[in-house]
Chain A
Amino acid sequence: MSGAKLEIVRAGALTTIQDLGRFGHAALGVPRSGALDQPAHRLANRLVGNPDSAATLETTVNGVSVSATRTVTVAVTGAPAPVRVDGRPVAWAGAVRLPSGAVLEVGGATAGLRSYVAVSGGVAVAPVLGSRSTDLLSGLGPRPLANGDTLPVGEAPQVLPAAADIALWEAPPKELVLPVLLGPRDDWFTADGLRTLAAGRFSVSPNSNRIALRTEGPSLERAVLSELPSEGMVLGAIQVPPDGKPVVFLADCPTTGGYPVAGVVPQAHLAAAAQAVPGTPVRFVPVRRRRAR
């Protein structure tokens, strides 16, 4: 039952195609990319019976509207938002039948930033280096969606999705608390600088995007002022540029960088970072490594 198409009726502020990311090519300078809120992406896929690796739509702030050329199952997760099919309210974070030609409207996020729309069979655009993700830093993968775009939909899964009465989902918190494993370059900061990281009142900058969550607030004092030769970067790295304001690297971050990384936010906490709206207070909490040395 392939050959179905998804039509983008209203693309919204920024809607991209995302999957689990483009890993394995960082040595060539290729960013990892992929869904910023991975648990939400995975849940959406599970609700429609897809494997986690199927591509979903990632919206930003004001949702998306789509219709399909054959009847499909859809699910909307991530940032809570009103969901309608041809104007009738339907479940958020639940499997929803979208009849052929009907319009699925995902409204503005009532909390958080990014909603995920899964469709049974997955969005089946051609993969680039093993991933269908849009990478806004390097321009790899499909460009952000525009009104009127049509996207191929994959073969519908043979197995029906597991029935779920409710999907438990934590609302994005009022304060973003990010645990930090210090290093590898915490010794490039003064003791005062590291205290600022742990005790400073930061907030999410409106300049945040898929590349990084930028912060507003105090600056971290450097102990080493020389230039850091470029080194490999990981997701969640807290890089500190010359202005001293910590930047948390998200999926589309560069693979190497020349500013010191004071610490790293464990991956499990990056979904919350991706849902934090500008202005949200941010607290970094250095945690002890299990057995650091």
Chain B
Amino acid sequence: MKVMPVGEDSLLVGLDTALEAQALHAELLRRLAAGTLPPVREIVPAAQTVLLYGVSGPEALAAELRRWTVPEPGPYSGPLVEIPVRYDGEDLREVAALWGVGPAEVARVHSGAEHRVAFCGFAPGFGYLTGMGERYHVPRRATPRTRVPAGSVALAGPYTGIYPRSSPGGWQLIGTTRARLWDMDREPAALLAPGTRVRFVPEETEDGCGGGARTAPASAPSVQGDA
């Protein structure tokens, strides 16, 4: 664990692995709930770090953090969200080629895994989902798109992400969802938060790839995506 001061009143805690970062984030939330953490304005988990923003007494907390033993993360117990996906993304064939499989197999593998929101960022409602084995990690596109449509399900590095609204983006698009990732008329507005477990449920596409399951997921919103 490396504790780095950030500005006047913040700390960035660097960990060796994403799993350790998730464990530390869980431990921080546990201590926050138990009232044993000094006041912190925001706790922001990310790939291999946790940012403690606006800490009263950052030096004392930094010293304390170095003495912590963070328990191993238990089995994932976050809420489970099912997200319907049509595996019809523009980069589906390219991803299939990178994996050395056919496009239907991409849908099968991706929807067969249980994913977990490691952290959020980029835009409100955008989660970085882990859960794909290392052999399925893919690079970003060499040239980012100037516009990725809202609801695009995409891969980059170890992550799956879903664009909450249309924006520029460099991830490989494998599918689309009608789930609303961010909806101000809903409480909470964000469908995904750090720790949320996610299953992608394939929906029929015109060319039949994806096929099979047509579950109507109870926890996924049924409203049409915006754009």
A contact residues around B48 at 8 Å (CB): 229, 231
Q: Quick one: CB contact mask for A206-241 with B, threshold 8 Å, 1 for yes? A: 000000000000000000000001111110110000
B190 within 8 A of A: yes
B contact residues around A25 at 8 Å (CB): 124
**A27 to B117 CA separation, bound complex (whole angstroms):** 11
Chain A: interface residue count, which band?
35 or more
The residue of chain A having its C-beta at the shortest distance from the C-beta of B6 within the complex is A184
Task: Report which residue of A139, A255, A261, A289 has the largest number of chain B beta carbons within 10 angstroms of its beta carbon.
Answer: A255
Tell whether, in the assembled complex, residue B6 and residue A29 are in contact, meaning their CB atoms are under 8 Å apart: no
Which residues 90-128 in B have Cβ within 8 Å of A in the complex? Answer: 119-126, 128
The residue of chain A having its C-beta at the shortest distance from the C-beta of B8 within the complex is A266
Partner of B122, one of A231, A254, A289: A254
**A233 to B4 CA separation, bound complex (whole angstroms):** 13
The residue of chain A having its C-beta at the shortest distance from the C-beta of B4 within the complex is A184
**A150 to B41 CA separation, bound complex (whole angstroms):** 34
Which residues 250-280 in A have Cβ within 8 Å of B in the complex? Answer: 254-256, 261, 264-267
A contact residues around B125 at 8 Å (CB): 28-29
**A23 to B42 CA separation, bound complex (whole angstroms):** 8
B174 within 8 A of A: no
Tell whether, in the assembled complex, residue B7 and residue A255 are in contact, meaning their CB atoms are under 8 Å apart: no
**A138 to B163 CA separation, bound complex (whole angstroms):** 12
A85 within 8 A of B: no
The residue of chain B having its C-beta at the shortest distance from the C-beta of A227 within the complex is B157
B contact residues around A256 at 8 Å (CB): 44, 46, 119-122
**A7 to B7 CA separation, bound complex (whole angstroms):** 40
B contact residues around A181 at 8 Å (CB): 5, 7-8
Task: Report which residue of A28, A233, A289 has the largest number of chain B beta carbons within 10 angstroms of its beta carbon.
Answer: A28
The residue of chain B having its C-beta at the shortest distance from the C-beta of A290 within the complex is B59
A183 within 8 A of B: yes
B34 within 8 A of A: no
**A280 to B194 CA separation, bound complex (whole angstroms):** 41
B contact residues around A236 at 8 Å (CB): 7
A109 within 8 A of B: no
**A2 to B43 CA separation, bound complex (whole angstroms):** 38
Tell whether, in the assembled complex, residue A27 and residue B194 are in contact, meaning their CB atoms are under 8 Å apart: yes
Task: Report which residue of B41, B59, B62, B122 has the largest number of chain A beta carbons within 10 angstroms of its beta carbon.
Answer: B122
How near does chain B come to A162, taking the closest CB pair, in angstroms?
29
B contact residues around A184 at 8 Å (CB): 4-6, 12
**A26 to B48 CA separation, bound complex (whole angstroms):** 16
**A264 to B54 CA separation, bound complex (whole angstroms):** 13
A contact residues around B120 at 8 Å (CB): 27-29, 255-256
B contact residues around A88 at 8 Å (CB): none
A128 within 8 A of B: yes
**A229 to B7 CA separation, bound complex (whole angstroms):** 20
How near does chain B come to A271, taking the closest CB pair, in angstroms?
15
How near does chain A come to B3, taking the closest CB pair, in angstroms?
9
How near does chain A come to B145, taking the closest CB pair, in angstroms?
18
B contact residues around A234 at 8 Å (CB): 6-7, 10, 51, 53
The list of the 4 closest CB pairs from A to B, nearest first, reads A232-B51, A256-B121, A264-B7, A229-B47
Q: Which residue numbers of B lie inside 8 Å of A, CB to CB?
A: 4-8, 10, 12, 41-51, 53-54, 59, 62, 119-126, 128, 165, 184, 189-190, 193-194
Other than A29-B123, A231-B46, give 19 A-B pairs with Cβ distance below 8 A: A24-B41, A29-B120, A29-B121, A29-B122, A138-B123, A140-B124, A181-B5, A183-B4, A229-B49, A230-B46, A230-B47, A234-B7, A236-B7, A237-B7, A254-B122, A256-B46, A289-B5, A292-B5, A293-B62
Interface CB pairs A-B, < 8 A, 13 = A24-B41, A26-B42, A26-B44, A29-B120, A183-B4, A231-B46, A231-B47, A231-B49, A237-B6, A256-B44, A264-B6, A267-B7, A293-B5
